[in-house]
Structure 1
């Protein structure tokens, strides 16, 4: 990493102190939004390079930069509407875009793409998701949501449900939660999309308690957070494997009735039937508030990247 160049590449890079600082900065950004934004980064340019489809992540980054007074250039389908379609390497694309930008936000289909980008970039790079690898800014907003909703993260009991093999949000959130005390994680999934051994090893090294199970009902009444994820059809090697995993876990009003009154339901979105619309009106449904928190976290991250801290 170049001196004074701050990249956001993976969840493991954050310490507890840095998380506390980021969450305080995000609270201040909530005030900035309520005040109508500011001009703190007027004249700065953010480039968004999205080689993979996105709604919340791309638009929240673009909104974040706009609310800080900066401007945005980029493409929402870089795989088709950039020189990548002509055979240009990712590294060459980044070298060129560096000359146009003050910060680059990249989402890519390949694991490790953001690190490759940062290795050649002359400006900060933010990883907005790299294949089935990581999604650090989602994990940060997820942790910020837990902090806001529960008034704590230490001691939280969380069930991560669904596609845990390809679900990069689950991987990154696990790494973030390893910074906190007395956390208990239940990894709940079909057998063919279990949490990767690399994630489990990291949690064991950090002394984080976890349990693998296929039974959501067994733990529903004891958890503080239910973190539901979509079974990601686009990441499976075959339709047969996808169908083995699909539809096994549905959060509905019956499941809610088994949960604690102060528990919350989260989802990185988009959902595809794994949370019924009947859940939306329950105050424990935190997923739309969670998405809104992404704006504040990304404002804080952009601010830090542009300041080089």
Structure 2
């Protein structure tokens, strides 16, 4: 099997094809079995990962750190780059050059769109995008797709509904682009009119001939969907007045959840604020705690393994 991830950057997901994803998910499932059996192995012993996070993170940061540790690798854990030479004015280019001299792989999160791609141009080792502004979040998109695949197997003909702040939520961009690879996929986007999906994503989906609709209410769509993906309002990317205007626009309760198909799933990449009622956590359709979080570790383990090892 060809490993198209080996020594390559993972800045976005548009270069991946269905076969790349199939191989990655096969590796993730193999690793899952190893973790369940003995906690991990030492296949990446001697390899070093540097996490360069210019933006707050708990789940993504911890997921990458845990993934590397379970594979036997070492870590340069910079949780906040604002405690580094970045505060002295060091450029992204210089930071990339320095840390790629220490590490075998860089994992970068940054609040500015395009910043991770900029660092990748100057890094001598592979760079993984852990979120760049309102752009992409490739490893979260792959985690989400893996979670869906684990539930449904065949990804063709599914109906996926995104609700919430879709203008600032990068996992929506990444997962939607991945879904566009699968024939007859249908996507519904429901958001306040102030934060619709980005024009760039619309154009991308149109170019891929994906069937999608945009709306401002979800009640009538819910009974027909296979996957509901709920997003929080991204307070950090908007004015205080806009935040308070759209906050609480959609709240998923058990009444709404129970109107969905029995075999459908409810997803959220977290953190949750108030967009999903806590009563939904125990609903059989909810997979954000029971599967999605853990799957993020397996998928990131597979990504690290395939980037750093050829076979």
Q: Please indicate the TM-score interval, normalised by the length of the shorter structure.
A: over 0.9
Match of 1:244 in 2: 245
CA distance in 1: counterparts of 2:190 and 2:84, whole angstroms: 39
CA distance in 1: counterparts of 2:285 and 2:259, whole angstroms: 12
CA distance in 1: counterparts of 2:91 and 2:150, whole angstroms: 41
Moved over 2 A (4+): none
What is the CA distance between 1:307 and its match in structure 2?
Answer: 2.1
| Uncovered stretches (5+) of structure 2, i.e. residues with no partner | none
What is the CA distance between 1:153 and its match in structure 2?
Answer: 1.4
Q: Please tell me whether the aligned partners of residues 11 and 173 of structure 1 are also in contact (alpha carbons under 8 angstroms).
A: no
Match of 1:94 in 2: 96
- Tell whether 2:55 aligns with 1:52: yes
What is the CA distance between 1:243 and its match in structure 2?
Answer: 2.0
Of residues 72, 76, 88, the one that matches 2:79 is: 76
Is the partner of 1:46 in helix, strand or coil?
Answer: strand
**TM-score, normalised by the number of residues in structure 1:** 0.96
Q: Please tell me whether the aligned partners of residues 146 and 152 of structure 1 are also in contact (alpha carbons under 8 angstroms).
A: no
**TM-score, normalised by the number of residues in structure 2:** 0.96
Of residues 176, 179, 187, the one that matches 1:177 is: 179
Match of 1:66 in 2: 69
CA deviation profile, 1:240-288 (whole Å, cap 9, x unmatched): 2222221111111110121111111000100001011101111110101
Q: Please tell me whether the aligned partners of residues 94 and 121 of structure 1 are also in contact (alpha carbons under 8 angstroms).
A: yes
Match of 1:273 in 2: 274
CA deviation profile, 1:115-148 (whole Å, cap 9, x unmatched): 1111011111100000111101000000000001
CA distance in 2: counterparts of 1:235 and 1:256, whole angstroms: 28
**Does the C-alpha gap of structure 1 residues 308 and 83 become closer, same or farther in structure 2, counting only changes over 3 Å?**
farther
The count of corresponding residues between Structure 1 and Structure 2 is: 305
Q: Please tell me whether the aligned partners of residues 223 and 259 of structure 2 are also in contact (alpha carbons under 8 angstroms).
A: yes
Q: CA RMSD in A?
A: 1.2
Match of 1:198 in 2: 200
| Uncovered stretches (5+) of structure 1, i.e. residues with no partner | none
The 5 A counterparts of 1:25-36 are 25-34=27-36, 35-36=38-39
Match of 1:287 in 2: 288
CA distance in 2: counterparts of 1:33 and 1:125, whole angstroms: 25
Match of 1:231 in 2: 233
The 5 A counterparts of 1:201-212 are 201-212=203-214
